[in-house]
Amino acid sequence: MAANEKRTKSMRIANMHIPSHGLMLFWSIIALFPFYMLIVNSFKSGLQIYANPFGLPTEWTLANYEYIIEASNFFMYFGNSFLVVSVSLFFILLLGSLAAYALAHWRSTVSTAIYFFFIIGMMLPIKIATIRLMEIIKSLGLMNTLWSLFPIYIAMGLPFAVFILTEFIRGLPIDLYEAAYIDGAKRSKIYYSIVLPLIKPALATVAIYNLVPIWNDLWFPLIFITADNQKTVLLAVTKLQGQYATDWPRVFALLTLSALPVITLYLLFSRNFVAGLTAGAIKG
């Protein structure tokens, strides 16, 4: 009896996870500090950021935000970025998971070759292909439109999606879904009702991994888009960056605003991520 009590007590202490919380709290401070600086400094006027980089603003000003929202068409840029990111991600996940489903099952030299063909896409800097890409985009008549970005971002995201998802699908347990096949379910049905739910965490990983570079990409919008109404948020940031001087408080305001949707999207995906994990109760 006494031994049992002692054990529960030590378990209770173990469940408090003091070293774990210590580690996470420590990292949280490190992780959030620059974020704190980003937000705090976006409420400062030009010079305060230098005079007092760490502290709270001596006088809070909304001028930076007002300028961003009123003078610089933030919501338009924002809408453009949002469209680009969500459409690209949707197709990366859809096409990537379909291809991964096939590559995980179809075992032959051809499939291995296709798999590696996708993988090599992760190994060359895409910038090297800019000239050729411009020609393709131009011949499709997509120059100077947002639409020029979709196919490139989707193609850019596919190697990683195929890599991760193929590995993931191959790692899944076979039993449940074998039954479905014996029951005569079609492949498309198995993909939709069994594979997709099981790989939700992997889909979330792929989405998050691609979300950040697409949202923050500057290069392709810079080259392809000159019309103001087609610009993305990060391209709008560059309007505040001069040859010699950059208006940092305004950049901070703009980027604080533009970080919000990324975090929102992340929370959305990560809930999916967690849900996927709990749903995946059938474990190998």
Q: Which of residues 1-30 bind another protein (CB under 8 A)?
A: 15, 17, 20-21, 23-24, 27-28, 30
Retrieve residue 12's tokens.
């209770």
CB of 67 to another protein, least distance (A): 12
* Sole binder of another protein in the list 10, 62, 171, 193 (CB under 8 A): 171
Residue 149, interface with another protein (CB under 8 A)? no
By CB under 8 A, name the one of 63, 69, 76, 155 that touches another protein. 155
Neighbours of 205 (CB within 10 A): 19
Per-residue contact string for residues 215-254; x = within reach of another protein by CB under 8 A: -x-x---xx--xxx-----x--xxxxxxxxxxxx--xx--
Q: Applying CB under 8 A, does 255 fall inside the site for another protein?
A: yes
Residues numbered 55 to 84 that lie near another protein (CB under 8 A) are: none
Structure tokens given for 39: 């937000």
C-alpha–C-alpha distance, residues 92 and 158, integer Å: 6
- Applying CB under 8 A, among 83, 151, 196, 272 the residue interacting with another protein is 151
Q: Is 117 in the site for another protein (CB under 8 A)?
A: yes
Establish if 272 lies at the interface with another protein (CB under 8 A).
no
What is the distance between the alpha carbons of residues 97 and 196, in angstroms, rounded to a whole number?
A: 8
- Any residues with CB less than 8 A from the CB of 169 and at least 6 apart, and which? 100, 101, 104, 105, 195, 199
Residues 6+ apart with CB under 8 A from 269: 204, 207, 208, 211
Tell me whether residue 58 is exposed, middle or buried, using C-beta atoms within 10 angstroms of its C-beta: 0 to 12, 13 to 18, 19 or more: exposed
Residues 273, 38, 74: CA angle, nearest 5 degrees:
80
- Residue 62 vs 140, nearer CB to another protein: 140
Site string for another protein, 177-206 (x = CB under 8 A): xx--x-----xx--x---------xx-xx-
Site for another protein in 81-110 (CB under 8 A): 91, 94-96, 98-99, 101-108
**32 is a site residue for another protein (CB under 8 A):** yes
DSSP 3-state of 241:
strand
